[in-house]
Amino acid sequence: MAVEEKRAWSMLVTALGSYAVYLCVVLGRPAGVMLTEAPYVEALLWSVGLSVAVSTAAHIAIAAFSPREEANLKDQRDREIHRFGEYVGQSFVVIGGVAGLVLAMVEAAPFWIANAIYLAFVLSSVLGSTVKIISYRFGFHPW
């Protein structure tokens, strides 16, 4: 398995895991507390912070345990797969930004705005990583 594919797998697992933990914390609010009044800010900040830390540690571990000649070696195919995955994943960042703007314009609760944007970032990471993994597994055929 290529080093870049391992990194894509680590990003996929990290993004899904951190968001799942975040949802468990927020949805596990005390009884009688409305969802929009649930304490989400601290959970969101911890989730994002730990996700970045775990992702960084995973990338370092992948590089450390890969053969030296493979750890920093990227060929043209690796660069194209990475670029294609990032382009596809970035679509959700735009969708999340627009969703956040629309929610702000209709004066939705800050809870919904923050969660729409966070979900978009998670989906961006998941979709980008999935596209990279599929490209490595089944071949990359640029348009």
Question: Which amino acid is present at 11?
Answer: M
Q: Which parts of the chain fold into alpha helices (H)?
A: 3-27, 41-64, 68-71, 76-105, 110-138
* Distance (Å, whole) CA 72 – CA 3: 9
CA distances from 61 to 25, 43, 54, 98 (A): 28, 26, 10, 36
**pLDDT tens-digit map of 6-54:** 888 999 999 999 999 999 988 887 777 788 888 889 999 999 999 999 9
Q: What is the pTM of this model?
A: 0.84
* Distance (Å, whole) CA 40 – CA 24: 11
**pLDDT tens-digit map of 78-131:** 788 888 888 888 888 999 999 999 999 999 999 999 999 999 999 999 999 998
CB 67 within 8 A of CB 3: no
**pLDDT tens-digit map of 122-139:** 999 999 999 889 888 887
